Amino acid sequence: MAIAACAAVLLAGATGATTWRAAGDNGKPVGTWHDAPAAARTPVSADQRLGSGQNATPRTGPTATSETPPSSSPVTTPPTEKATVNPPRPGSVERPIESGAANGRQRVGELLRVSKLLGYLGGRPRKETFRYPGASYVKLHFSRIALLPGDYVTVANADGTESYRYDAPENSADSDRWAMSVTGDTAVLEVHRGAPDLLGLGRLAGGLGVDVDRVARGYSRTEQGRQPERQLTAPGRTGREESVCGSDTSADAVCYRSSDPVAYTKSKAIARLLINGTELCTGWRVGTQNRMLTNNHCFTSSSEAYDTEVWFNYQCARCGGYDVYQPTKVWGAQVIATDRTYDFTLFTVDKFASIEKFGHLSLDTRRPAKGQQLYVPQHPAGEPTRIAGSLGEKAGNCSVVDPGYDGYASGSDVAYFCDTEGGSSGSPVLSRATNKVVALHHFGGCPNSGVRGDLLAARLARYL
């Protein structure tokens, strides 16, 4: 474990229960159904046990989408991107994508098939507990939710301090979806009656109920530590540790609160992305509007964004301590633009107002100079926010070694030796001179590298 690692992560792996601090909902149900965009849904790609595969080859060429955003979070859809960029040649980049998984995302859990039905008639339970000892989170998938008027379901952790409410969707076809994850090794699903059944509709409720067909179980700390050896890497590489260049000098973000308050404040704008229930990347708010940026190899479509949880404020409450702040979780919404060569995806989130308070970052329109000091806020291996690159003499190798490094295109990247791990894909690389983003991290291998911020600024200006 790296220096000053949050002890709560270790506890979560050992006991399956993270210590929450400052619970925002006081145990009350929060959240509603997340309305789907008008887009074809994609199959879950991380399910080896279920045998549902997805082509691991990244899509090529740039794309801008014009899919209809969710009604609960309207955004203005920019015009379709007309620029074209040649996709990278197969094999032209030999360094491993940071996340290390076959599809470029860090695996942080597994999918399990279950068959649980909650209903109204005798013999059917109204409450079901899903417990997986040691799991870091539990996430339920509904294949059906059909309820009487006024009734609803909740998914909560064991003690009810994290709870989400779901009403039946108007269209029954929309009930095939994921619930928000709950942290810890237990999820409690319960059907609640909203009002007395004065009309006697319960007699007609034989065909109603809630079906759960899959559960995503987050890996324990021990299981997560074994993942690099099982994930795809380039020949001769051993895994994500290749990206820790020398000894790991990254630290919990909170460790910077007093010594480097600017870096600490900037780190608030990043988010942990839980994709399809079992895979991970990092993303961050770019600009003042409802805009998030991550890598193209993390996801490329609105249907994938829709199944992505975006966790803000997932960080340790005390340097090296045991408490973790309860994250603010929102759903991804619409992909606005994506590009394979420059490895970016720009997207929006649902319930944007709830995450505005965490601030935003800005892309630097200038290429950084060689030797310029950097810092990288990130979620390596899914851990609470960490920052690589200390202030002053301890900055070490976290500086620009090549401002025109070859990525998927000639001279498209900035190279550096800042410490990163699997799950850091999509992290912002900030200049200490400007506190702006000079690179979008995407490659490990020592040196690590990210797509140049000035190139991204030019391509994304119309959307920001």
pLDDT in tens, 29-66: 444 444 444 333 333 333 334 433 333 333 334 444 44
- Token output for 304: 């994938």
Half-sphere exposure of 39 (CA within 13 A, CB side): 23
Of the listed ranges 67-81, 85-99, 190-204, 265-279, the one predicted with least confidence: 67-81
CA-nearest of 293, 298, 244 to 97 is 298
Spatial separation of the C-alpha atoms in residues 162 and 156, rounded to whole Å: 6
As a residue count, the chain comes to 464
- Token output for 133: 């000892």
Spatial separation of the C-alpha atoms in residues 203 and 328, rounded to whole Å: 40
Give the CA dihedral 42, 47, 53, 57, nearest 10 degrees.
Answer: 80
Give the mean model confidence (pLDDT) for residues 212-240: 62
Given this structure, which CATH class describes domain 63-106+240-460?
A: mainly beta
Residue 228: pLDDT above 80?
A: no
Residue 383: pLDDT above 70?
A: yes
109-218, what's its fold? Jelly Rolls (2.60.120)
Residues contacting 209, CB < 8 A, separation 6+: 117, 118, 119, 120, 124, 144, 146
What's the pTM value of the predicted model, to 2 decimals?
0.77
Please say whether the beta carbons of 299 and 23 come within 8 A.
Answer: no
- Token output for 126: 């109204």
Give the mean model confidence (pLDDT) for residues 418-423: 82
Residue 69: pLDDT above 60?
A: no
Please say whether the beta carbons of 418 and 432 come within 8 A.
Answer: no
Give the mean model confidence (pLDDT) for residues 455-461: 98
Residue 221: pLDDT band (50, 70, 90) is confident
Of 84 and 420, which is predicted with more confidence? Answer: 420
Residue 395: pLDDT above 60?
A: no
Cβ atoms within 10 Å, residue 390: 20
Give the residue extent of every domain in the chain. 63-106+240-460, 109-218
277-331 pLDDT, tens digit per residue, is 999 999 999 999 999 999 999 999 999 999 999 999 999 888 877 677 889 999 9
Given this model, what pLDDT does residue 195 score? 63
